[in-house]
Structure 1
Amino acid sequence: MDNIILYLLQTIQQLYQQNRWLLNFICRYIPLKQWAFEDSHSPKYQKYRIDQLPLIGYPKQDWDWNDLLKYYKDRYGKAIRPVSRRSACDIPETAVCPRCGAPMLYLYKNNGSKGQLLCKLCDTRFSPEENRYAKILSLRCPYCGHSLVPKKHRKFFVLHKCVNPKCSFYLHNLKKVDKHHLHEDYGKNKYKLHYIYREFTVDFFRMDLSSLPKNSSSLKFTKHNAHIMSLCLTMHVNLQLSLRKTAQALNDLYGIKISHQQVASYARTAALVIKPFVDHYDYHASDTFTADETYIKVRGIKGFVWFIMDAFSRSILGYQVSDNRSVGPCILAMRMAFRHFKKLPQNFRFIADGYTAYPLAAQQFFHEFGEAFRFDITQVIGLTNDDAVSKEFRPFKQMIERLNRTFKSSYRVSCGYDNYDGANYNVALWVAYYNFLRPHKHNCYQVLNKVDLLQGAENMPGKWQLLIYLGQQTILNLQNRQAADSICS
């Protein structure tokens, strides 16, 4: 009986060792599913990665020099005498310790003529011109605790970098560098090795999302009427005619003589009224968003349009026109898409390309709102499915790319925009048409969002007039809500 028990115990130990060997082999050579979805372990994706938030350090000012004198006398039974100087001292009499406030009598030079001083009471080393205790706060690396150094000043942010050569984050990334790159000149610059943090100097969460072009005309018509205005919108937005072609079509078809500048004025005014309804409409968004940015031309100079789409209803939830491709417009578009969310739904997924503005914007949402808006960016990188993430989520990326092509088909007729005001009102009208008026093939040639009032219109000009009416009602509701909030406050 004892031999059987001993034999079984030995067998169990052998199986246990074999299982450990198999697990070690799988972890080393067979990528698990959750590992395949983590692209940041690959060196070629390092530059697409956004580091975690830094530590915030506050200067310690816990003691007063008078309290320290009393403490030392009570603790050791003798008082601390001022510094005994054997030669003339050039420390100014106004100098004090920045930590405990000790006067010049308790300060002496720590490194000779190099300028560093040492307090005899609290043992603090500092420079009289610039010391760390004069700062309100300091940014520190979350891996090594080293103070971050501001390296670059950009338009919207300051880039801070951890320059500690012994930082664990730096040493871990350094191991991933190819050996032949280490021997090349500036070979390590092909990789992102150091911890980097961007401190924004502009608060994109306090900006107005409802701004639109100025100099819009009134809806009180003197020469034409609302029907002609809706005809202009139908031809210019639905049929993708340019301003001059719209004016020519009205003259050729209906004998209505109107200038292309008047068509532009009607479109600008309609956008100003319709935009609040489109932006504040409750789309009942799902838990999967997809986003991308595309190029436009404004006076021959490259600009950008950001789109955020609900992956299931295909509605455009957020959009923004900008003259730059920085993280600011990305945050504004996300704010518009998250307008009706008090908290993100469970299993929320945000799908975008490999551009670093999206993870950086997601980090700023977490920094601003906390756990309620904590989400990761699923990045579909490149044009081919080189990893498991791209293979699974490529269809969602193709949705937003198809949206970009649909928008470009209406944009090409204008051959670019004359200014950003024109780009703003044109995009606002196109989004209203796409979400509420355009029939979609994938939705059985029905509109994406059915509004009962719009369903009663017999033709497209009538729907544009009703859409303007809904915009007016939304503006009145917003004004009444704002007035009620100001009275309550």
Structure 2
Amino acid sequence: MSTIISILVKYNQLLLSQISQLLIFIAKNIPLSKPKYDITSPKYNKHTVDKVPIIKIFKRLDYKQLLTEYKITHGKDKRPVNPRGKNPVLPDTICPQCGAPHIYIYDNTGGRGQLWCKVCDLRFNKNKVDFKTETFICPFCGHVLSKKKDRKNFYIHKCVNKKCSYYMDSLAKLSLEDIKEYKKDKHKFKLHYIYREFTTNYFDVDLSSMPKGATSLKFRNFSSHVMGLCLTYNVNLGLSTRRTALALWEIHGVRISHVTVSKYAISAAAFVKPYVDNYDYKPTNYLAADETYTKVKGVHQYIWLVMDAIKKSILGYQASFSRDTGPCILTMRMAFDKYKEFPGKSLKFVADGYTAYKLAEQQFKLNNMDFDVTQVIGLTNSDPISTEYRWLKQIIERLNRTFKFSYRVTNGFGSEEGSNTHLALFVAYYNFLRPHSYSYWGPLNSIPELEKIPTMPGKWQKLIELSQQLIIEKQVI
């Protein structure tokens, strides 16, 4: 018996020794906490945004003024072109930059298309209709960017210079395996500098437009109090329009159709939106942004939200069927409009790692609004930025869950109008009516006119009335 025990002990010690050697081998050769992907690899540069290029702007010139200046400087007139080739410049040709006639224009490439203005020294193509007033130059090598792709809302310009320092550095970072894959599928890698030129000016879009389907609040069959009850059940308690109609009948004895409840909601959203968007929130310098989604007729619709992370108010919101930079810029604009003076670099704007936020930051900088977007990536604090700003990301994620809970009972919307109505009423309720633990179970933004009213239907009526007064004041101004 003792012999068997001694053999088992020795065998156990042998196994422990082998396990110890395996652990040492794993620790030296196999990292236990290997990241899901290496975001520093050039293979994932498609998810990054390069810095703004050097923009060279060409101004319109007057060839007569240039000729006068030449005469004053040199003491003689600038002589016209003396064509000697077989392809004379056509009489209707003029320089697109200075307007010089054809007598001052060379055929620079022997009939292959390029012309050269002797007055302003511009080289242009005679077959090109539009004159390019600005040129994008690579900030790393000074090479002119080439337009490569035409997307829905932007053009993609690329630096094709093979000696560009950006390209050389990206190429040097490739491993041997990446180089083999790069030779087979170059489209999977982003090694060249690129710039996205947006064709839509999202800074001219009207942010205060009213939702579609807005109707007047003239009550024929029911009173304004019934509308307040509809909004209370539908928005505050999160009931569907059919459940709201059922509650009004079974609790209050009011027989109303779900269609009428829906129309009340659409009208209320249209009238309360101006007050919500123009209220003086006095925001802090800590903003958090994120996007979630709903469904409209089975199709994903994205909801963009920007909130004050300290005061918890929703400052910007947009709904869109595309998850691109356009609606992201509009949401951020709506939030920034709440500032009487833009905080600039002191603004702490936190979002996730989605590229749209960095592209939006780039466009704001081009419009003289300089700030930095801080991106918190992943679910764990694996870097100093995530450790410092995780709390901001958690706040906006909590808001997303609150919004999804209010949307859950609808099981998707039947129209875009219904989705926009729900979003506008949710923001109004969240900012002005919903009790929050942050504000000791009071509303986030206290309005004296609402504090005097004890019931929630009355508060909804008063909020709509205040918004109507604001609309009238703006029309008078």
Q: Do these two structures clear the TM 0.5 threshold for a shared fold by scoring above it?
A: yes
Structure 1 counterpart of 2:417: 421
Unmatched 5+ residue regions in structure 1? 1-38, 484-489
Identity of aligned residues (%): 48
- The answer to whether the 8 A contact 1:49-1:356 is kept is yes
Alpha-carbon separation, structure 2, partners of 1:81 and 1:211: 56
What corresponds to 1:312 in structure 2? 310
CA displacement at 1:114 relative to structure 2: 5.2
Q: 4+ residue runs of structure 1 moved beyond 6 angstroms?
A: 39-42, 60-75, 79-84, 117-125
Amino acid across the alignment from 2:399 = L
2 CA distance for matches of 1:125 and 1:365? Answer: 33
Aligned partners of 1:84, 1:72: CA distance in 2, in Å? 26
Q: Which residue of 2 aligns with 1:54?
A: 53
Q: Which residue of 2 aligns with 1:295?
A: 293
Structure 2: distance between partners of 1:435 and 1:365: 26
Determine helix, strand or coil for the equivalent of 1:268: helix
Aligned match of 2:141: 144
Q: Does 1:391 align with 2:391?
A: no
Identify the residue that residue 201 of structure 1 maps to in structure 2: 199
Give the aligned length.
434
Taking a change above 3 Å as real, the CA distance of residues 357 and 69 of structure 1, as seen in their structure-2 partners, is closer
Q: What is the CA-CA distance between 1:108 and the residue it aligns to?
A: 6.3
Q: Are 1:320 and 1:333, in contact at CA under 8 Å, matched by a contact in 2?
A: yes
Aligned partner of 1:350 in structure 2 is: 349
Q: Secondary structure at the match of 2:374?
A: strand
- Structure 1, 113-122 or 224-233: larger mean CA deviation: 113-122
Distance 1:215 1:81 in 2: 65
Matched with 2:221 is: 223
| Unpaired segments ≥5 residues, structure 2 | 1-37
3-state DSSP class of the match of 1:222? coil
Matched residue, 1:452 = 448
TM-score in terms of structure 1 length: 0.79
C-alpha spacing 1:126/1:319, structure 2 compared with 1 (3 Å): closer
Aligned to 2:370: 374
Which residue in the other structure is 1:178 paired with?
175
Do the aligned partners of 1:43 and 1:191 also contact (CA within 8 Å) in 2?
A: yes
Contact in 1 for aligned 2:364/2:370 (Cα 8 Å): yes
Find out whether 1:430 has 2:426 as its counterpart.
yes
2:460 is aligned with 1:464: yes
Q: CA deviation at 1:128?
A: 4.3
Aligned to 1:362: 361
TM-score, scaled to structure 2: 0.81
Contact 1:169/1:194 (<8 A) preserved: yes
SS in 2 for 1:158: strand
Q: Does the CA contact (< 8 Å) of 2:104 and 2:118 recur in 1?
A: no
SS class of match (1:470): helix
* CA deviation after TM superposition for structure 1 residue 286, in Å: 0.6
The match for 1:165 among 162, 168, 182 is 162
> Within 1, Cα distance between the matches of 2:430 and 2:252?
27
Write the deviation string for residues 261-307 of structure 1: whole angstroms up to 9, x where unpaired: 10001111111111111111111111110000001101111111111
Which residue does 2:249 correspond to in 1? Answer: 251
- The answer to whether the Cα contact below 8 Å between 2:324 and 2:356 also exists between their aligned partners in 1 is yes
Query: How far apart, in 2, do the equivalents of 1:238 and 1:221 lie?
Result: 22
8 Å CA contact 1:102, 1:121 repeated in 2: no
Note if contact 2:83-2:106 (Cα within 8 Å) is conserved in structure 1: no
Partners of 2:104 and 2:425 lie apart in 1 by 73
